[in-house]
Amino acid sequence: MTRYLINFSYDGSNYNGYQKQKGLNTIQGKIEDALKYINNKDTKFSASGRTDAFVHANNQFGHVDIDVNITENKLKRALNSLLPDDIYVKSAKKVNDDFHCRYMVKEKQYIYIINMGEFNPIERKYVYQFCNKLNLYKMKKALKYIKGTHDFEKFSSNEHKEKNTVRSIYTAKIKKRKNYLIFSFSGNGFLKYMVRIIVGVLIQIGSNKMNPSDIKQIFSGDYKFKYKKIAPPEGLYLNNVKYKKI
């Protein structure tokens, strides 16, 4: 048996999220179907984390144990020959048997893209078509409150009632390119809907419906108004994952 680390990307437009679910079209389901053919048996594929329905990944990672003798390059080619065109394996690398793609994550990076200009039907599955101007200065000011180590329970759905909702955000940035805003967040981990709720709050701040300092009140539990407007999934990308050791 050999453990492989798989680096792959996908267009999430046609999928009900990453995690395998009975009767639903998922990224994990497609990959495990391909691995079953290669490994001659049902084979579990573990990823660095889940992505929601319609969310994309530029660089997602997962590990798998393969019993048959196969080189890294042949495994990559075999997977790509069996996977649909909206999932692509970039590399397959042999790793130690104790490597775990989820528990050994050092840093994750997400990006979120918004179009403030004219509606673009071609990009509608890949960029949030907000189609209104936003106050970039106020949003950048608000990002200062997001960075650092906080309890992000109030910036997540927390439907799974996780015991630990404290996360560290290392970088939080916004870049403007013509009519597009590109948000980037890196940290040691993210809760369910966390990035989309943060972006939703930033959009309200950029629309002058909230103030940057309101984020401090949300963290403390003192904010008394409804603020959880989850940004649509289409603009969200898992951009990269870094590991402590490989």
pLDDT digits (tens, 9 = 90+) for 228-243: 999 999 999 999 999 9
Phi-psi region of 23 (alpha: psi -120 to 50; beta: other; left: phi over 0): left
Of 95, 129, 147, which closes a domain?
A: 95
Mapped onto helix, strand or coil, the DSSP state of residue 71 is: coil
Quote the pLDDT of residue 157.
Answer: 84
Verify that 64 and 171 share a domain, yes or no. Answer: no
Task: For residue 102, tell me if it sits in a domain.
Answer: no
Of 52, 73, 95, which closes a domain?
A: 95
Of 95, 120, 139, which closes a domain?
A: 95
> What is the domain count for the chain?
2
Verify that 162 and 70 share a domain, yes or no. Answer: no
Verify that 43 and 70 share a domain, yes or no. Answer: yes
Q: Give residue-wise pLDDT tens across range 159-214.
A: 656 789 999 999 999 999 999 999 999 999 999 999 999 999 999 999 999 999 99
Q: Give residue-wise pLDDT tens across range 9-53.
A: 999 999 999 999 999 999 999 999 999 999 999 999 999 999 999
* CATH number where 195 lies: 3.30.70.660
Verify that 25 and 112 share a domain, yes or no. Answer: no
Residues assigned a catalytic role: 52
Place of tokens 């999932």: 87
- Report which of 85, 75, 54 is spatially closest to residue 5, judged by C-alpha positions: 75
